[in-house]
Amino acid sequence: MTSPGHAVASDVTLVSLIIEHASAHDLPALCRASKSLNAPAERALYKALTFYEPHTAGQVCRVLAHAPRLAQLVRAFSIVARYSRVRLPAGDLPNTWWQNVAHALRGMSALESLVLANLAGPTPYGWVLPAAPVFQLREARILFPWTADADAFVMHQRALRFLHVVDIAPGLDVPGVQEQAALADAPDVLLPALEIIDVPVRIATQFLGSPLTHIQVIPDAESLSSSGDVMAFMSHLWRVRETLRSLAVHDAPEYRSAEIVLQVAQHCPGLQYLGVLALPPASRSTLHTHLMGLPKLVILELEVSRWSPAPSLPMQRALATELQTYCSSLRIMIFWLHSHRFVFHLNQDTGVWVGRADPGPGGPSWRYL
- Give the pLDDT score at 313: 96
Identity (one letter) of the amino acid at 328?
S
Mean pLDDT of the chain: 85
Which residue would you say has higher pLDDT here, 78 or 189? 78
Task: Evaluate whether 172 touches 148 at the Cβ level (below 8 Å).
Answer: yes
- What's the pLDDT tens digit per position in 120-148? 555 667 889 998 899 999 999 998 778 88
Grade residue 176 by pLDDT with cuts at 50, 70 and 90: very low
Lowest mean pLDDT: which of 35-39, 270-274, 317-321, 327-331?
35-39
Which residue would you say has higher pLDDT here, 43 or 314? 314
Pairing state of beta strands 299-303 and 332-337? parallel
pTM over 0.75: yes
What are the distances in angstroms from CA 307 to CA 74, 118, 316?
A: 50, 34, 12
Identity (one letter) of the amino acid at 215?
I
CB-CB neighbours of 100 under 10 Å = 22
- Give the pLDDT score at 86: 40
Surface-to-core class of residue 44, CB atoms within 10 Å of its CB (0-12 exposed, 13-18 middle, 19+ buried): buried
Longest alpha-carbon distance in the chain: 88
- What's the pLDDT tens digit per position in 33-67? 666 676 777 788 889 999 988 889 999 999 999 99
What are the distances in angstroms from CA 194 to CA 39, 51, 157, 213?
A: 34, 26, 9, 9
